[in-house]
Amino acid sequence: MRIAIVNDTVMAVETLRRLLTSVPGYDIAWVAYDAKSAINRCAKDTPDLILMDMIMPEMDGVEATRVIMQQSPCAILIVTADIKKNSAKVFEAMGYGALDVVSTPIMGISEDPQLNQALLKTIVSIGIVIGRLNPKRSSGRSGNSTNKSTSHQSSYPPRHLPPLIIIGSSTGGPKALARVLGELPPNFEASIVIVQHVDMQFSSGLAKWLDEQTPLSVTLASEGDRIREGKVLLAGTNDHLVLRPNLTLTYTKEPQDYPYRPSIDVFCESVAQSWSRKGIAVLLTGMGRDGAIGLKKLRRRGWHTIAQNQQSCVVYGMPKAAVEMEAAIEVLSLSEIASTLVKRVTHIP
C-alpha cells in the first residue's frame, strides 16, 4: 500500500515514516508539510491512503480533505494530536470524506505502543475496505450472522412495535446524517437506529454533535436499550450492534474478522430476524460494500429500502453496491431523503 504523509511537524513526519516503513508492504508515496502542497502532490500522484494532520497553518486538514476528495479522491485518515479539542473539525472532515481519525503516535522516551498499534490497526482495516489487503475478506460476507436461522421472529405483535428506521453510513456520513436528521420534525413518530463507521473514541462526540443538529434526541445505544418511538440511537462501540429476539440491543464481537465495525449488515440482519414489523432502511454515502446485504434482506422482508444517489454522495460505494444488488427500492438525493421518511413513516404496516 502506497501511503502519503501530510503534517507540518518534522518530528511527527519522521515518527510516521519510521512506523510505516517497519511494516512490510507499506511504502511512503510522498510527504507534504502543508495542505496546499498535499493537494498538488495528490493530483499528480494519488496514493492509496493519506495520513492527514488536522491542524496546519494557512489551510487545515478539513479543507485539504474537502479539496482532495473533490479533485483526486482517495482514502484519507486523519492523524492528529488534538482530537478532543477539535471534535467538531473531526466530524467535519469525516463529512467531507475522511474515513477515520486516530491520535498521532509518539516515539522516543514518551512512546506509547498503544497509539502505534491503534494507527497500524486502523490502516489495516482501511486497506481491507479499499481492497489493497486480503480483498477476499471484504467480498460482502458478513460472518456468522448471514447464515443464522430466521425462525426466531419476535412474538410481539407488529402493531405494538414503533415504526423503525435504520440508517447506515460511512465515508461522508456525519455530514449526511446531520442533513437528514436536521430536516426531520420534532414530533417525528418513528424510532431511528444509526450505524456509522466510526471508532468508539469518537462515537460519544458524534452523538452529541448530531444531537445539536436536529430537534430529535440523539444518544448512544447502550446494552439492554429498547427501540423507542421518537428516539435516535447511535451504535457506539467497535463491536457490532445487534437486536436480540427479546427486542433489546446488545453488542457482539462476532464476526471478528469483518472489516466494517460496527457493521450495518450485521445490525440489519439481526433486525430481519427479530423485528416483526416492517420499516424503512436507508444506506447513505460510504466506501466499501457494508449495508448492501442487510438492505437486501430487509427488502425481502417487506421493508422500504432507500439508497443515496451518486450525485449527492461523498463516496458512492455502499449505495452503489446496494443498487447493483437490487437491494434499494428507491435511489434518492440527500435532499429528498428526510421528506420521504416523513411521508412514508405513517404508512409502515
- Are 205 and 91 in contact, with CB atoms under 8 Å apart? yes
Report the C-alpha gap between 114 and 81 in whole angstroms: 14
Do 143-345 and 2-137 fall under one CATH topology?
A: yes
Which is catalytic among the residues 125, 265, 290, 304?
A: 290
What mean pLDDT is predicted for residues 66-79?
93
Q: Is the pLDDT of residue 155 over 50?
A: no
* CATH class of the 143-345 domain in this structure: alpha beta
Q: Which fold has domain 2-137?
A: Rossmann fold (3.40.50)
Nearest to 31 by CA among 65, 64, 5: 5
Backbone phi and psi for residue 129, each to the nearest 5 degrees, phi listed first: -65, -40
pLDDT of residue 297: 97
What global pTM score does this model have?
0.81
Catalytic status, residue 199: no
> pLDDT band at residue 142, thresholds of 50, 70 and 90?
very low
For the chain, give the percent of residues with pLDDT over 90.
65
Burial of 346 (0-12, 13-18, 19+ CB in 10 A): exposed
Which is catalytic among the residues 145, 197, 304, 312?
A: 197
What mean pLDDT is predicted for residues 154-176?
82
Q: Is the pLDDT of residue 186 over 70?
A: yes
Q: How does pLDDT run across 261-300, given as a tens digit for each residue? A: 899 999 999 999 999 999 999 999 998 899 999 999 999 9
Cell of 62: 478539513
Q: Delimit the domains of the chain by residue range.
A: 2-137, 143-345
Please tell me which residue, 312 or 92, carries the higher pLDDT value.
312
Q: Is the pLDDT of residue 100 over 90?
A: no
Catalytic status, residue 138: no
214 φ/ψ sector (left φ>0, alpha ψ -120 to 50, else beta): beta
> pLDDT band at residue 175, thresholds of 50, 70 and 90?
very high
Whole-Å CA distances, 217 to 5, 182, 233, 238? 38, 11, 8, 22
Report the C-alpha gap between 101 and 114 in whole angstroms: 15
pLDDT of residue 107: 59
Q: How does pLDDT run across 334-346, given as a tens digit for each residue? A: 999 999 999 999 8
Helix, strand, coil shares of the chain, percent, nearest 5, are: 40, 20, 40
Q: Which residues contact 173 (CB under 8 A, 6 or more apart)?
A: 94, 95, 196, 197, 198, 284, 285, 286
> pLDDT band at residue 109, thresholds of 50, 70 and 90?
very low
Which is catalytic among the residues 138, 145, 154, 170?
A: 170
Query: Of the ranges 39-43, 62-66, 170-174, 247-251, which one carries the lowest mean pLDDT score?
Result: 170-174
What mean pLDDT is predicted for residues 29-34?
96
Please tell me which residue, 129 or 321, carries the higher pLDDT value.
321
Q: Is the pLDDT of residue 132 over 60?
A: no
Cell of 197: 463507521
Catalytic status, residue 290: yes
Q: How does pLDDT run across 33-53, given as a tens digit for each residue? A: 999 999 999 999 999 999 999
pLDDT of residue 111: 53
Strand order in the sheet with 280-283: 217-220, 231-234, 191-196, 164-169, 280-283, 304-308, 330-332
